[in-house]
Structure 1
Amino acid sequence: MINGKTVLAGVIGWPVAHSRSPMLHNHWCKVHQINGAYVPLPVAPGQLEVALRGLAAAGFRGVNVTIPHKEEAFRLCDELTMTAKRAGAANTLRFEDGRILGDCTDGTGFCDNLRAHAVSPSGSVLILGAGGAARAIAAALQDCGCDVFITNRTAARAEALVSALGAGVVLPWADWPARLGEMQILINATSLGMGGHDETDWPSILQQAQLGLSVADIVYTPLQTPLLRAAQQRGLRTVEGLGMLLYQARAGFHAWFGLWPEVDKQSFDLLMADLT
């Protein structure tokens, strides 16, 4: 029951009705018997600063921020973690004494999901894509000591990402399959495979991989993308994208509600049921 002592948090986006974060955080509050509520907050472009200052004044502990507000949220923060600075984005905000403290949990959530699948974030890693998710993941992997290679259809975006990170190697989009045999991890950080739509000839490409390659996808609709299906057929270890969504949520829950929730079968199945 919501009352005067309920801890409030939420997710800001436009649109935001599709977000599974309220389902997950409210589930964790219920499991851990926390008097908390996490709500969807539709905020139109251009209204983010007003919304954040208003929520802080109204007593919210903080919010997650999703499309299209992540970059603006980054600029509005009074203080940023080093992780957020390297990622160039803030998706997890905490309100404290009238100030906005920003963190980015996408990259660390991705690495935690790798570990949950018995994949060590180490060695040479090839990331397909150069958007915001790719940058956060690349930064986190570099912090783990990985050698990060970036490829993108638009080479200038990959070069800009490497420049922003201050490290990494750009591979031309046409050439990356020939370098796959050097890699320990392949990551799809593009929209390829979303909704099952992907005409890439993954079986032929993956023939160039060593059998020790691990293949990860940030897409989770469907859970088994064409890339992951081809990787499994090749006998490679695979890492689905839904776990990243779960693991990246833990830090925010801890910041607002004071407890580190477990990513267990119950929480995974809860989101999985909503996707199917």
Structure 2
Amino acid sequence: MLAGVTGWPVAHSRSPRLHGHWIARHRLDAAYVPLPVRPEHFAEAMHGLRLAGFRGCNVTIPHKEAAFALADALTPRARRAGAVNTLIFREEGIEGDCTDGYGFLQSLGGHDPAFGPAVVLGAGGAARAIAAALLDAGCPRLTLVNRSRARAEALAEALGGPVEVAEHPGLETTALLVNATSLGMTGQPPLELDLSHLPAHAVVADIVYVPLETALLRAARGRGLRGVDGLGMLLHQARPGFRAWFGPDPVVDDALREAVAADIPPR
């Protein structure tokens, strides 16, 4: 059984380590490999992998929109997100799924999106998948904040439902704050945001996982708030693909987290 992760470049991906851990745990006769593919060769490469016997692959930058266009069938959540991060090769064709929103919700642990309003920073692909998942899980009101207001407004219109766009987040009633941008990632500018107005029950989530504790999460925990790092989203989003390709339903636990995070700087 073969699967992999495709991107350009793709050497940085932690997916081979993640899936390799599960393959070893379940003692499968399988392999999960990195598949660097140039954008102009993406479609022919995916069809070739399917014909070569691959079960499917994860898709990372810059191929997610191309994977959406390529798929013969889309899951409802992929159609809602407008992007694909998981391809499943079947006899009848290629199915596209988007598991980012699922992975994010699972990473929240006991937090129920229906508990209160959410603020999502960003309007890119990750923000769209997360926002859609929150709305579908019952979030009563969602506010999008993005450097380009026009892009946030376009996303709000595409999502529908109780979504508004703001220049600055009003945090006084926020139950969940999500950084769905790359700000705060190693090598990127920091995310500068005053958390003093967040309620004591608020949860702060950051999809960045390099470093594991961003300045945003450090500030949240300094206020006694619960912080959720981006590694959980990465781990959980991998489960549906692994199950579809290899059969077992894998578990996200401390052993997996330690294996994948072994060389990630803590701060």
**TM-score bucket (shorter structure):** over 0.9
- Report the residue type matching 2:11 in the other structure: A
Q: C-alpha distance in 1, partners of 2:190/2:66?
A: 34
Contact preservation (8 Å) 1:74, 1:89: yes
Structure 1 counterpart of 2:101, from 103, 107, 113: 107
Contact preservation (8 Å) 1:26, 1:38: yes
1:190 aligned to 2:181? yes
2:134 is aligned to: 141
Question: Displacement of 1:121 after TM fit?
Answer: 2.3
Q: Figure out how many residues of one structure are paired with residues of the other and give that number.
A: 263
- Report the residue type matching 1:144 in the other structure: A
Question: Displacement of 1:191 after TM fit?
Answer: 1.0
Q: C-alpha distance in 1, partners of 2:192/2:106?
A: 29
Q: C-alpha distance in 1, partners of 2:192/2:80?
A: 33
1:227 is aligned to: 216
Percent identical among aligned pairs is 57
User: Which contiguous aligned blocks of 4+ residues in structure 1 show a shift greater than 3 angstroms?
Assistant: 196-202
Gap change, CA 1:252 and 1:187, over 3 Å in 2: same
Q: C-alpha distance in 2, partners of 1:167/1:216?
A: 22
- Report the residue type matching 2:111 in the other structure: V
> Where does 1:1-276 land on structure 2 (aligned, <5 Å)?
7-115=1-109, 118-122=110-114, 123-146=116-139, 147-173=141-167, 175-176=168-169, 179-195=170-186, 198-202=189-193, 205-276=194-265
Gap change, CA 1:69 and 1:197, over 3 Å in 2: closer
Gap change, CA 1:36 and 1:200, over 3 Å in 2: closer
Let me know the Cα RMSD of the aligned residues: 1.2
Contact preservation (8 Å) 1:187, 1:215: yes
Write 1 or 2 for the structure with the bigger share of helix: 1
Contact preservation (8 Å) 1:196, 1:226: no
- Specify every segment of 5 or more residues in structure 2 that has no aligned partner in the other structure, as ranges: none
Question: Displacement of 1:113 after TM fit?
Answer: 0.3
Contact preservation (8 Å) 2:176, 2:202: yes
Gap change, CA 1:18 and 1:49, over 3 Å in 2: same
Q: Deviations over 1:135-155 (max 9, x none)?
A: 000111111010221110110
Q: Deviations over 1:17-41 (max 9, x none)?
A: 1101011111101111111100000
Q: C-alpha distance in 2, partners of 1:39/1:183?
A: 41
Alignment partner of 2:18: what SS? helix
Q: C-alpha distance in 2, partners of 1:199/1:241?
A: 16
Question: Displacement of 1:199 after TM fit?
Answer: 4.5
Alignment partner of 1:38: what SS? strand
Q: C-alpha distance in 1, partners of 2:221/2:256?
A: 24
